[in-house]
Structure 1
Amino acid sequence: FGTGPLLAGGSALRMSGGSAAGVEVTCDFDAGNIEVVDSSSISNVALKVRADPYTELEKKAHKQWFYFRAGGDIKGKEVTYNLQCGDCSYAHAFIGTTVVYSTDRKEWKRVAATSFDKASAVMTWKHASPSDVCWYAYFAPYSYERHQELVAACASSPLARVRSIGRTLDGRPIDLVTVGEGPLKVWVIHRQHPGESQAEWFAEGLVDRLLGTGGGGETAS
């Protein structure tokens, strides 16, 4: 299982708007990632994707994943978020994307009012939060803590073997889970690209099917 820099926690940048009438935007939590351009008005919360760690192989720092918390006087008010994607690694991937949101970080729903302007490379979504605090993300986040629980479930199963085959740019183990025996080898790789945390949900489902391990309670719709 790869645990790429897109889910690096601990060092997440905390930024907020300077006006009491604006929106408080923060990302200092596991998997959090955003850069605030201007959040002083609910009619235009301007955001950018913060870069992942620099990769020597590709000679660049990727930008794709975003996940942040919005607060302040937002409950029941339509807020317009504008994410500047022009310098993202795969800006075209935002075409047709609908942002996900959650008020409890367990159940994730999609913001239907999401659009992407190709000319300006800006993704816009309008949303009236049903709560005082709301979290928004590219996809339903798969936390590093949940990743550890999945690895532990694999390691404790008599049907699997777990070993580390390397380290991520953040120094985290890249785990290889081996299930079964025989001459035919099938490799399942996920989360090797920026913004692909959602792939581990599929990996968890596969592991659950192969080993009979239990899943968690988060859902995405």
Structure 2
Amino acid sequence: MSFKGKVVVVTGAGGGMGRAVALAFEKEGAKLALTDASAVGLEETVSLLQDKDVITGVVDIRNVAAIREWMTKVKTVSGPVQAIANCAGVWRDAPFQEVSEDLWDFTLDINLKGNFFFCQAAMEQMIEAGGGSVVNIASTAGEYGSIRAAAHYAASKGGIIALSKSLAREGAPSIRVNVVSPGPTDTPMLAATEDEKREVAKRPMVGRLGTAEDMAAAVLYLSDPKKAGYITGEVLRVNGGSLI
């Protein structure tokens, strides 16, 4: 198991993609540290794990002090972090002219600011550990703009790509930083009816929506130094051919 005994942080682990990522890392023997804004979601995730000996924390990703406090706790309990998968994120669609300052701040604080400071805290520990891996979650919206009206969301995800490429330079050579960029994926964040899902599923060339497990497999691959040790600063598109 590639991650046996390694300390792995997963943000947004209370559901959707983050939950799938946590379950995938557990199968590889990781020592999990899971955080989410929802205590109920975290409890549900832990109930699905074989090993219940995990660190969990309800952390407001918009609060930098809370992030640093929790990451310090992880290090104290389990040792320095060796991998992090930043899966926390929000989606609120709105036409450009209707995006309020509050909605802009809410989206950017969670999708970009919070992930930035989780990266900062994690990479500080990875330096101590001798290296590590960071995987951030973007979106096809951050690559070619949002199909649904959500310029603020697209901006946050485009920022994730630019951030990750910059951190790959600063973290080299011992810390690898990569991005998974999902296409339309069947998670609660898609916020679509069954009819809408069937319509969206026509866009990818493979003829279906992505799953949380599809994204988790990509995160695991990029995190694994044995399989992806020569990959950093890259954006892995997991979109079923909806963007090529």
Q: Please, what TM-score do these two structures have when normalized by structure 1? A: 0.31
Larger radius of gyration: 1
Going by fraction, where is helix more abundant, 1 or 2? Answer: 2
Going by fraction, where is strand more abundant, 1 or 2? Answer: 1
Q: Please, what TM-score do these two structures have when normalized by structure 2? A: 0.29
